[in-house]
Structure 1
Amino acid sequence: MGFLSSKKRSRVNLKVDESKDSTHSRSSSPTPSTRSLSPNPSMHYRTTHTLIVGQIYNDIILHVSHFPAEDTKLRASSTEQRIGGNCVNTCRVLTQFPKTHVWCMSAIGSKESSAGLLSELESNGIKMTTCLYRQSSMPSSYIIHNEASGSRTIISCNNTLEITLDEFIRKIEMTSLTKSIQFDFNAAPFTWVHFEGRNISEALLQIRWLETKGQKENWRSKMTISVELEKPDRQDIDLLMSNGDVVFFSKIFAQARGFNNANDFLEAVKPDCKPESTLFCTWGEYGAACLEGKTGHVEQVKAIKADSVVDSVGAGDTFIASVIYCLGQGLSATIALRVACETATQKVSQLGFDNLGGRIDPLYLDKINVIKPKASNDGRWLSADSYRVL
């Protein structure tokens, strides 16, 4: 859940095509300045509008030489404070892809206390107009980073009221106001809405409201709804399975249900999901698997071996962001799986989330059957010539 970023960020301005933004009110946030790539002019990219619903955290990271024993004192070699949470990590990666507009919906602190947080995230291209203010303090996570092993132990504290259905509806309706002005009544407020696996009872109501509204206004087919089932001990989290067009499962979730591999798990839970939903399950160093609902076919991709594990926090969020981007561009689940595994491997090999969206261009992968890059290209898009055709 934590977020560690390098203090230096690449500053590459990206010109975004706003011609298809008619369904959205313009945000006052500045032009994204931490994009890691420029779109290839020979490729056609879809303009997408993605909403990520979850919880933002203040992360305090303690770097220690070894994990402390109980009831002992230990001096940290250094400390860091960062903005974290699954939803923010996913947003950070998504904003690095071309033609991708990203909103984050979270319950945060008061307007005054959250000003710095909002400014930082908006400067990274994340639109924060969908957040809700609370008088309580921002949720926090304390992360103990064991420098000897690379492990990170996370202790969280969250007393913030979760987002209610009424608040969700109000924010969505505000985003959709321009539809009535431009007479585009069949436009979806977002092309993709992703729900972090928390606040289950309200999340279910929010999804069902989107379903009903979308069917009534004839835009449901233009929006993809995805859900994440990461933490197996959250009450009623299994109910989310049947409410996502795309469903993301974690390794610990599958293991808690008695499975020791992703393939068997996906085949077992498929009957509990929508008939044509696409399912993904990550399995750490062993890669990930996906099951396409239309075909029932399960495919597994082995993880690319990382040269070294530097920062594993957020690898799953990076995987999700990559899948959302690829499927949002109309690419196959197979391509999305390959891209997401490679991007997640790059994530654990570096500190933070900078320059992850520029490792490969998924649209090239859809044109040629490739999986392994022959060479890197300084964090920019790798061209088709940079890949070995299988």
Structure 2
Amino acid sequence: MKLHQQKLVCVGACYLDTILDVPYYPGEDAKLRATSLQVRRGGNCPNTLEVLQQLLREEEGEQQRPARHREVHPYLVSCLPNAEAPATATIVGSFGPESLVDFTRCVYRTDHTEPASSYIIRSKATGSRTLVNYNDLPEMTIDEFIAVANETGDDAWFHFEGRIPETTLQCIRYLRQSFPHTRVSVEIEKPGREGLEDLAGEADVIFYSRSWAENKRYESAQQCLNAQSGVARKASLLLCTWGSDGASYLSLPSQRAVSCPVAALSGQPNISVVDTVGAGDTFIAGMLFGLLCHQQDWDTEKKVQFAVQLATCKVQRDGFDGVGADVMKHLGVASQ
């Protein structure tokens, strides 16, 4: 049976991350020697697509995969330097030689050769991470997005990082007006960023971060979701991650609210945290995988449980290598 192709378009910034590991976070004007340095591609949507690509490959590689009706074709929409720039080659190459991710919808800035950059200091003493970003690339305009949307067509899933809310809101509203069958998810992450709740009011699926929720003075994931249900007027599903407590969701059609804690799913009282960079992006990858690839055979609770287990596996390793394969094999997902 030929599968119907589901286009997944992820819209967000792409960075080259420089990560310094230090024994402790330095004080102002202090001098400290890092214990390690690594440079890798980052950005919320690229991280999500890297993990999602692993999950898609694992499932497609199984002889007896679950019956499903759609084959996912993932696209990245991000502003990148000149297509011939070495930094662009590094970013594209980071997804592997046979990447499933399509970069033809990216916006290439011909007058720029340097990518957006993120500098991350990770403290071994506390496990904290401090980020400093620099981005000289002009942001995507609504006209550039309209060209992407028109080329993509209807019956696609668009996922937005939730940055530059004014432009993102215009993008979502254009999709609603021009492509009524398109589904929209959005990430509400940055604390204090104005306009994010306007995005939540237009999306079908919304991902809230703990840092954003706590900035709004919510004391738990469920409290956040209950309060936001009045804001998310068009949504069918709200989700909120809460660190070591896992994640909670609220299904608006049924008003079913469920929490999925890490300990209960992992069977381990303590998790050894190695690298939290990209944990939220990994959770979103797990949810998009469930929503797009397992619409019929997984209920919402199973999708959230899978996403929590995926993110839990990720924080126990440095980077994303192999996280999808390990979780799929451990859970026996592909053979169910």
Q: Which of residues 306, 310, 323 is equivalent to 1:356? A: 323
Residues 276 and 201 (structure 1), Cα distance of their counterparts in 2 relative to 1, 3 Å cut = closer
1:311 matched to 2:278? The reply is no
Alpha-carbon distance, 1:381 to partner = 4.5
Alignment partners' CA distance in 2, 1:193 and 1:93: 17
Q: Which of residues 294, 312, 327 is equivalent to 1:345? A: 312
User: Contact 1:227–1:243 at 8 Å: present in 2 too?
Assistant: no
User: Contact 2:41–2:94 at 8 Å: present in 1 too?
Assistant: no
Alpha-carbon distance, 1:236 to partner = 1.3
Identity score, percent: 36
Alpha-carbon distance, 1:287 to partner = 1.3
Alignment partners' CA distance in 2, 1:265 and 1:72: 39
User: Which residue of 1 is the match for residue 239 of structure 2?
Assistant: 280
Secondary structure of 1:126's aligned partner: coil
1:351-371 per-residue CA deviation (whole Å, 9 max, x = no partner) reads 11122223455xxxxxxxxxx
Give the unaligned 5+ runs of structure 2: 57-70
Secondary structure of 1:357's aligned partner: helix
1:234 matched to 2:199? The reply is no
Alpha-carbon distance, 1:20 to partner = 4.0
User: Contact 2:20–2:120 at 8 Å: present in 1 too?
Assistant: yes
Alignment partners' CA distance in 2, 1:225 and 1:318: 18
Secondary structure of 2:29's aligned partner: coil
TM-score under structure 2 normalisation? 0.85
The two structures, once aligned, show a CA RMSD in angstroms of: 2.1
1:338-385 per-residue CA deviation (whole Å, 9 max, x = no partner) reads 111111110111111122223455xxxxxxxxxxxxxx74x975756x
Matches within 5 A, 1:99-178: 99-113=71-85, 114-121=88-95, 123=97, 124-134=99-109, 135-136=111-112, 137-176=114-153
1:265 matched to 2:224? The reply is yes
User: Contact 1:287–1:302 at 8 Å: present in 2 too?
Assistant: yes
Secondary structure of 1:121's aligned partner: coil
User: Contact 1:275–1:293 at 8 Å: present in 2 too?
Assistant: no
Alignment partners' CA distance in 2, 1:287 and 1:380: 21
Secondary structure of 2:284's aligned partner: helix
Residues 355 and 139 (structure 1), Cα distance of their counterparts in 2 relative to 1, 3 Å cut = same
Alpha-carbon distance, 1:297 to partner = 1.5
User: Which residue of 1 is the match for residue 61 of structure 2?
Assistant: none
Q: Structure 1 residues 64-73 or 338-347, which shifts more?
A: 64-73
Residues 170 and 246 (structure 1), Cα distance of their counterparts in 2 relative to 1, 3 Å cut = same
User: Which residue of 2 is the match for residue 89 of structure 1?
Assistant: 47
User: Contact 2:202–2:234 at 8 Å: present in 1 too?
Assistant: no
Q: Residue type matched to 2:275 in 1?
A: D
1:276-325 per-residue CA deviation (whole Å, 9 max, x = no partner) reads 52000011011111000101121111113553101111110111111111
User: Contact 2:205–2:235 at 8 Å: present in 1 too?
Assistant: no
Q: Which of residues 332, 348, 351 is equivalent to 2:299? A: 332
Structure 1 segments, 4+ long, off by >4 Å, are: 379-384
Alignment partners' CA distance in 1, 2:323 and 2:7: 19
Alignment partners' CA distance in 1, 2:214 and 2:76: 30
User: Which residue of 2 is the match for residue 250 of structure 1?
Assistant: 209
Secondary structure of 2:94's aligned partner: helix
User: Contact 1:360–1:382 at 8 Å: present in 2 too?
Assistant: no
Alignment partners' CA distance in 2, 1:336 and 1:321: 11
User: Contact 1:358–1:380 at 8 Å: present in 2 too?
Assistant: no
User: Contact 2:77–2:107 at 8 Å: present in 1 too?
Assistant: yes
Q: Residue type matched to 1:327 in 2?
A: L
Matched residue pairs, number?
309
Alignment partners' CA distance in 1, 2:17 and 2:138: 19
Matches within 5 A, 1:74-85: 74-85=32-43
1:112-150 per-residue CA deviation (whole Å, 9 max, x = no partner) reads 222332233363432111111123431111111223333
Q: Residue type matched to 1:238 in 2?
A: E
User: Contact 1:246–1:278 at 8 Å: present in 2 too?
Assistant: yes
Alignment partners' CA distance in 2, 1:380 and 1:109: 40
User: Which residue of 1 is the match for residue 63 of structure 2?
Assistant: none
Matches within 5 A, 1:190-229: 190=156, 192-215=157-180, 220=181, 223-229=182-188
Alignment partners' CA distance in 1, 2:6 and 2:302: 18
User: Contact 1:94–1:100 at 8 Å: present in 2 too?
Assistant: no
Alignment partners' CA distance in 1, 2:333 and 2:165: 38
Alignment partners' CA distance in 1, 2:121 and 2:248: 30
Secondary structure of 2:163's aligned partner: coil
Q: Structure 1 residues 277-286 or 107-116, which shifts more?
A: 107-116
Alignment partners' CA distance in 1, 2:91 and 2:250: 37
User: Contact 1:95–1:101 at 8 Å: present in 2 too?
Assistant: no
1:77-132 per-residue CA deviation (whole Å, 9 max, x = no partner) reads 22111110111110111111234321110011122222332233363432111111
